[in-house]
Chains A and B, each alone.
Chain A
Amino acid sequence: MKTIKTCVTALISALLVFSPVAYADKWSDQFPHIKATGDIPGECSYESMSKKNYKGKTLKINTHAVPVMGEPTALHAEQFAKLTGAKVDVTHTPAGDLYAKAMVPFQAGQAPYDIVFGFSNFINDWKRYLEPVPKKYVEMKQMQDVTPSHIGIASWDGVMYQFPVDGDRHYLKYRKDVIDNPKYQKKYKADTGKELRVPQTWKEYGEMAAYFNGWDWDGDGEKEYGSAEVMKKDDLMYAAFYSRSAAYSKNPKTPGGFFFDLKTMKPLINNPGFVEALTDWVAATKYVPPGGINFGLGDEIGSFGGGQTLFSFSWDDAFVAAMQPDSPINNKVGAAQLPGAMKVWNRTTNSWDEGFNQAPFFVWGWAVGVAKKSKEKEMAFDYLCFFANEANHQADIGIGRFGVNPFRNDDFKADVWTQIGWDKDIAQSYVDTLAQMEESKNRVFPLRVPGTFEFNAALATAAAKALAGQLSPQAALDEAAKQWEDILNRVGKDNVRKAYSVGVAMEDNKL
C-alpha cells in the first residue's frame, strides 16, 4: 500500500514540479517556495533548522482543510521534515470542527496532536491545555517584528500561548473599476444626487450596493450584485455582524465594554446601536447575489473573487485571492477600512451621539499552540518558528489561498506587495488600511471569554433568524441578549468579567 502510494506521489510530483530557476541561495534551490527571497538569516531560518536533528521523532499536527492554512502547514511540514529528519503527520479538518477536534481529546486528557491550529478566540478555552511559548522564542528577533496587537492576541494575562503565524482583521474590499470609474461616478450622481466614492458609512455602502445590484456593470454578459457577505449561520457570520455593528456601538466616549458593560456585565447586544446594524444587515439581504443569505466565507470569497459583486468585507483572504495573477479582477480591487456611521449609541446617556464614528474590527485569525501534554514540545515550537520564519512568511502572504496574512511591521510596506505584481496604488491603500487599524484607539476584538462559542452561537442564531425574516431585528437581539444572560449565569459573571476585561483593555488600545 505504502509503496503504491509513494510511486504515485513520485510520479505526480515529477509531472507537476517544474524545475526551479537557479539561484545563488542553496536553500531556494532545494525549496522553490522561497525562490523570491532565498533564505533569510534568523533563529529559525532554513540554515538554522538544517542543524537540528529530529530523526526518529514524529510531530503530529491538526490544521485546517487544504488549502487555507492547511496547505502552508503541510508544505512547511514537508520542508521541516526534510531539514531535520523528523516525521511530520498532518491532518486537515474543516474550520467549524477545529475547536472540537482539539477540545475533545484535551478534555479527555489526551494529546493526539502536538500542534493544534484554531482561531485565536479559542485561547480562553484552550489555554489551560497549551504550553506557553518559551522565553527563547518570545524574545527572538523574528518575534520583535510582530505588531503589539498581534502579540496581545496571542497572549493571555501577559503569557503567550499561541505562536503568531497569521494576522487577521476585517476591512472593506471594493471594485476599483466601478467606484473609481468616472462614467459610473457621473451616472450615480445623476441618478441619486450623491457621490460615488469609497463608502464612508454603512448607509452609503448600502445605497451603492443596492444601486449596483442585479445588472451587468462589468460587461461580461452576466448579472452582478451589490455585496457578498458571510450570512450563513455557524460559518463565522457572527464576525460579519460585529463588523457591521462596531461603528454604531463602539463609542470612544464610553469605554469599558462593547459586548458587555464591564461594570454590570449586562449584555449590550440589544442596544439600539446593534439593532441599527442588524436592520442595515437585513436590508443587505436585498443586494446580495441569489442565495447570498446562505453564503459562507468560501462562497463570499468565491463570489467577490469571481467578480460577481461590488463590495465585500471580511478577511484578507478575499483581497489577496482577488489579487492573484490568474484572478479575473486582478488589480481591479481596492481596500479600505470598514465603513463608519454618522451616529453612535451612547449607553451612558442612553441616546445617539451624532457625528462620524469608525471602529476597526480585529477578527483574530489563525492561531496555533503546542499541547501541554505533547512529548515533543521543543520540536513543535521549532516547527512553528520555522513556519513563520521570514522567508516562509514573505512567500506565504503573497499566496491568497494560503490564508496567511500580515502581522509584522515589515508587512506594512507597499513594496512587499508590488513585488508580487500588485499595482502601486492598490498596494499602498492596502498597507495604509492595515496600518491605520493598528493605530486606532477605538476598535473591536471578538469576544474571548469562557463560553465564547455559546455567546457567538446564540448571537448568530438570532441574527440568522432576523436575516431570514423569522424575527424583527429588535426581537432577535432581545432573544440573543436573554440567552447571553442565561449563559452568563451558567458560566458565572465574574469568570466572564475577568476574561473580558483583558479584551476591553485591547479594545480601548491601552496595551
Chain B
Amino acid sequence: MNFKHKYVFLFPGLFVLIGILIFPIIFTIRLSLSGWNSYTPEMNFIGITNYIRLFTDDPRFWESFFRLSFLSVTTVILQYIIGFALALIVWREIKFKRFFRVIFLIPMMTTPVIMTVIWRTFFHESLGPVNDLLGNLGVKPILWLSDPVIAKFTVIIVEVWQWTPFMFLLLLAGLLSLPKEPFLAAAIDGASPFRKFVYVTFPLMAPISIGAIIIRLIEASKIMDTVFVLTSGGPGTATETSSFYIYIKGLREFQMGYAATLSFTYLVIMIISLTIIAKVLTKLMIKE
C-alpha cells in the first residue's frame, strides 16, 4: 500500500523523537570537540584532541568496554538459557502454573537502583545472609563484592535475577503462539522430547529468540545502576563498565568534553557491533 497518508502516521512519532533528540546529539558531538571541564566551562574548540587522548592514552575506557562486552554477553546468554528453560516448563501443564508465571515475572518490575541496594545488603560479606547461611554449612566467607573476579559474577547474578523475566516473557509468549501442526507431526513421528526441541521448537522460536537477544543486549549494554550501587566499579576497576566510566568522567570528575567524546565513540561502536551481532545471529539461527 502506498498512500500519501502514510506520512501522517509516521511523522508525528518520528519528528517528536528527532525533535527531542536533535539538540542532544548535535550538542554531544560539539561538546566532544571541546575541553569543557570544571575549571573551564566553555564550549571552546580543541579539535580532535579528546579523540586522540581516547585512542592513544585511555586504556581504562577500552578495558571497561571489554568488561562490558563480557558482562553483557554472559548475562544475556544466561538469561536466554534460563528464560527459555523456564518458559518451556511453564508452557505445558504443570502444577501451580499461573503462580509460577507471576513469580517469574516479578523481578523485572523492580527498580534496579533500589533493588540493588537490597542485593548489596544480601551479599554483604559479614552482615549479609548469604555468607551467614554458607557459614553454617562450613563455607568460608565468599568475597562477593570485594574480590575482583567474584564481584563480576555477583553483578551477573543480580542482572540475571533482574532481567531473566524479560527473556522469559518474550519466549513464553512466543511459545504460546506457535502453530500446533509441526508438533503434531513430530508426535506422530514419535520424536523424543529432545529431538522435538531441536528440530521443531527451537527452529520455530529462532526469530523470536533473535529479537529477544538483541533487545536484551541493547539493554544489558547500558548496565550501570547495578554496578553503581553494588560495587561502584570496584574493587579496583574490576566491575567498571563503559557507561559507568562515562559517568565517572562526566559527572564525578566533570570532564564534560571528554565524557562527550567517550559517549559518542561508545555510541558508534555499539551501533556497529549490534548491527553485526544481529546479522550473525540471523545467519546462525535461521537456516533457510
Interface residues of A (CB under 8 A from B): 96-97, 99-100, 103-104, 107, 124-125, 225, 232-235, 289-294, 296, 302-303, 306, 308, 450-451, 453-454, 457, 461, 464-465, 467-470, 486, 490-491, 495
Contact = CB atoms under 8 A, between A and B. Distances in A.
B139 to A, nearest CB: 12
Contacts, number: 110
A294 B254 contact: no
A299 to B, nearest CB: 8
Contact of B254 (A96, A99, A289, A291): A99
Nearest to B234: A233
A457 B252 contact: yes
B237 A465 contact: yes
Nearest to B36: A107
B252 A293 contact: no
A125 B39 contact: yes
Secondary structure of the A contact surface, majority rule: helix
B126 A308 contact: yes
A103 B254 contact: yes
B27 to A, nearest CB: 11
A122 to B, nearest CB: 9
B233 A290 contact: no
Contact of B148 (A100, A235, A457, A470): A470
A238 to B, nearest CB: 12
A320 B219 CA distance: 44
Contacts of B237: 233, 461, 464-465, 470
A453 B252 CA distance: 7
Of B143, B232, B236, B254, the most chain A CB neighbours within 10 A belong to: B236
B38 A291 contact: no
A468 B131 contact: no
A467 B151 CA distance: 14
B146 to A, nearest CB: 4
Interface residues on B, range: 35 or more
B253 A294 contact: no
Of B141, B231, B235, the most chain A CB neighbours within 10 A belong to: B235
Contacts of B57: 486
Given A96-B252, A100-B252, A294-B125, 6 more contacts: A99-B254, A107-B36, A289-B126, A461-B236, A461-B237, A495-B39
Contacts of A97: 251
Interface in B37-57: 37-39, 41, 57
B216 interface: no
15 contacts: A103-B254, A107-B36, A233-B232, A289-B125, A291-B126, A291-B144, A294-B125, A294-B145, A450-B38, A451-B38, A457-B252, A464-B237, A465-B236, A468-B234, A490-B37
A234 B39 contact: no
B243 interface: no
A465 B234 CA distance: 9
Nearest to B57: A486
